[in-house]
Amino acid sequence: MRIEEVTGGVCAAEGFLAAGYHAGVKRQGKDLSLIYSPTPCRAAATFTQNRVQAAPLHVTRDHLRNGSVRAVVVNSGNANACNGPQGLVDAQEMAATTARSLQIEASEVLVASTGVIGVPLPMDKIKTGIEAVTKRLDTNGGADAAAGIMTTDTCPKEAALRCSVGEQSFQIGGMAKGSGMIHPNMATMLAFITTDAPVEAAFLQQALSEAVNDSFNMISVDGDTSTNDMVVVLANGSAQGSEIQAGGEAGELFQKALTQLCTRLARMIARDGEGATKLVEVCAHGALSAADARLVVRSISASPLVKTAIYGEDANWGRILCAAGYSGAELDPERVDVRLGDLLVFSQGRGLPFDEAEAKEILKAEEVRITVDLGLGEASATGWTCDLTYDYIKINASYRT
């Protein structure tokens, strides 16, 4: 079983083309992206659990029932959320315009949007842009497509893997966007994944749900779960070979690779949190259950007090312990250990003497690890967040203007 990193993003998988284009939804930069497979794909998706959901999610859910997908069209700069019946009409028109340009069925097109809420889509620009972006589709278009889905992101986010086991081999690639409004209850961001693996449909959904649970659902930037978020995976089977199902080496490899790819993209999102200067990895060990371990990780990751302390390079372990204590997980403070990097700062119910200068050096790094050992069981979980800085407030205080 082998997994290696390759380039190409969503175009790393055989048979996929992509492109990005500036349609004018945003003042500058690409704001419209398209992924296309001439070969029909099996598809799976997960969606935000926010009860307020944008129009594109309803259209995409409906089209997924078709069982065959060939394209994903995405605009940035406008969420097409909370626009009433017109929002649904516009999302449907995005799919229809894409279908006409590609000469496929509208039901084979998935739709996504990201950006400001409550502003109608500029459909003249969107439709003209879709017609233009279809003409730019290319097997090397992954990077442009990744740029086209950015909002407050400071950099595009893409990754790809080549995988092999025995005589079976396939590629899997992806792109994501996300910088603010990140606290997944599914996945608070957008991510689009392509693979040429011949994956059985039910297993594709199972594998995606598991991968999302261990990756995108374990990141937090600001505690806000968005209205537009989805993760979509398309599998066109171009790599040939036996159908990959749950169980067996090929199924194990696909699950491992999909989770690894999603984790790579999730870490990029956390690292690029609005105004962030550090990526923070939070690990919980020794929990009675995986659910408890996840509660502890997510509680610490979402704590503004923990995140501001990391920004200030202040080894205030009390904030970490406090967040673990109110997480809802089973916890006995007399059995908890807390570490910053490898530095043990709390154990057996009390703080330990430590070198403040050493702790500050640990917190100065661009990547900081917090570890909490509950000392109760064998379960563990890992998640990612970022520090909370003055720039986060500046960015979000004037998001619409």
Catalytic residue ranges: 188
Written as six digits, the tokens of 361 are: 């050096």
Q: CA 69, 75, 81: angle at the middle one, nearest 5? A: 95
**DSSP string of 100-116?**
HHHTS-GGGEEEEEEEE
**Considering all CA atoms of the chain, what is the largest pairwise distance in Å, rounded to the nearest integer?**
69
Q: By C-alpha distance, which of 262, 174, 281 is closest to 215?
A: 262
Q: By C-alpha distance, which of 348, 360, 368, 352 is closest to 301?
A: 368
- Residue 204 Cα distances to 36, 42, 44, 58, 72, angstroms: 19, 8, 6, 21, 17
Question: Residue 400, CB half-sphere, CA atoms under 13 Å: how many?
Answer: 5
Q: Is 329 left (phi over 0), alpha (psi -120 to 50) or beta?
A: beta
Q: By C-alpha distance, which of 218, 227, 339 is closest to 270?
A: 218
DSSP SS3 for 329: coil
- Residue 243 Cα distances to 39, 53, 218, angstroms: 16, 34, 30
Q: Are 380 and 358 in contact (CB under 8 A)?
A: no
CB neighbour class for 377 (10 Å; exposed up to 12, middle 13-18, buried from 19): middle
Q: How far apart are CA 118 and CA 245, in angstroms?
A: 42
- Residue 29 Cα distances to 26, 49, 132, 146, 283, angstroms: 7, 30, 15, 12, 37
